[in-house]
Amino acid sequence: MVKVYYDENVATDELKGKTIAIVGYGSQGHAHAQNLRDNGHNVIIGLREGKSAQAAKEDGFDVFPVKEAAAKADLIMILAPDEIQGTLYENEIAPSLEAGNSLVFAHGFNVHFDVITPPADVDVFLVAPKSPGHLVRRTFTEGFAVPALYAVYQDATGKAQETALAYAKGIGATRVGVLETTFKEETETDLFGEQAVLCGGLTSLIEAGFETLVEGGYQPELAYFEVCHELKLIIDLIYEGGFGKMRDSISNTAEYGDYVSGPRVITSDVKDRMKDVLTDIQNGNFAKGFVDDNANGFANFKQMRQTRKEHQIETVGEELRKMMPFVKSAE
């Protein structure tokens, strides 16, 4: 059974008097920095000049070049994009690390796939909110939080676990629960989740449904509503009460169709291909592809992004959402 930590199981002592450098001020960075500050911690930001640095200054933070921030800090949380962390670490963080520091991540990717090899005398752990960054901040200001995972990779001080949990409490996550894991498990399950189900599986399922209706001669606008717009309402019910609550809420016709047709669409060979995806994550093939494409200026990535942006569902959806002022952005 997974170990879960809540506010009452966690002391914040290990962060007391320490300087926390948040490297990056994007989706996760701004949320961690602001939540930690609101909880009374001493936070500085490490960034290059640019849009994020400007935003951090406007939000009242002291911003330093990454190397300087890392040198000032006792705990360095790297919240720059995964693909640049290797170079950033090598050039600007490693030279500033001191024995006893904490080197922290929100995703195990670079450590697990050996892009970053930390020295033996620092604590290395991850605190990974299971949510987009903007909700990490929004739920916190509403007195709530999103759950997070934590894992210790290296315990040089004997206090890595306490420090990791204190950090998780600092961003608010212990309000709702922090689950214990390992770098391997966090990295592999996170990649699998986003690839096979949450992002990859879902968008491909929606596109296939949309195309099937449009190719069947139905109006694209109706297709959009049927296979995309309504999804949120269904997901909200599943989120609140599992498949049971969703199935209680839909009609008997819909529930019958769910049982009869769902397994015809998601067949056992879909699961076989999910296993292939998982294998490519586990053996490092996915990571290698991502890292190599990045070294090549993300040529593949940019091409795929462009192709998918041009899909009819995106243009139809954009027009329809203009007619629905209640569909607000998450930010």
The set of catalytic residues is: 107
Q: Which of 33, 88, 93, 196 binds ligand NDP (CB under 6 A)?
A: 88
Q: Hey, which residues between 151 and 180 contact Mg ion (CB under 5 A)?
A: none
Q: Does 190 appear as a known binding residue?
A: yes
Interface with Mg ion includes 190 (CB under 5 A)? yes
Q: Does 37 appear as a known binding residue?
A: no
The 8-class DSSP code of residue 131 comes to S
Q: Does 280 appear as a known binding residue?
A: no
Q: Which of 6, 16, 62, 81 binds ligand NDP (CB under 6 A)?
A: 81
Question: Is-contact 88 66, C-beta < 8 A?
Answer: yes
Whole-number Å distance between alpha carbons of 242 and 154: 37
Interface with ligand NDP includes 123 (CB under 6 A)? no
- Nearest-CB residue to Mg ion? 190
Q: Does 26 appear as a known binding residue?
A: yes
- By C-alpha distance, which of 37, 44, 188 is closest to 107? 188
Question: Is-contact 210 223, C-beta < 8 A?
Answer: yes
Residue 329 token pair: 């952005």
27 versus 210: smaller Cβ distance to ligand NDP: 27
- Nearest-CB residue to ligand NDP? 26
Q: Does 27 appear as a known binding residue?
A: yes
Interface with Mg ion includes 186 (CB under 5 A)? no
Residue 20 binds which of Mg ion, ligand NDP, none (CB < 5-8 A, kind-dependent): none
x/- mask, ligand NDP, residues 13-42, rule CB under 6 A, reads -----------xxxxxx-------------
Q: Hey, which residues between 133 and 192 contact ligand NDP (CB under 6 A)?
A: 133
Long-range CB contacts (< 8 A, 24+ apart) of 34-42? 34/59, 34/137, 34/140, 35/136, 35/137, 35/140, 35/170, 35/171, 35/172, 36/167, 36/170, 36/171, 37/61, 38/140, 39/12, 39/169, 39/170, 39/171, 39/172, 41/15, 41/170, 42/17, 42/18
Helix (H, G, I), strand (E, B) or coil at 282: helix
Residue 299 token pair: 């040529």
Note the residues at the interface with Mg ion (CB under 5 A).
Answer: 190
Pick out the residues of the known binding site for Mg(2+): 190, 194, 226, 230
Pick out the residues of the known binding site: 25-28, 48, 52, 133, 190, 194, 226, 230, 251
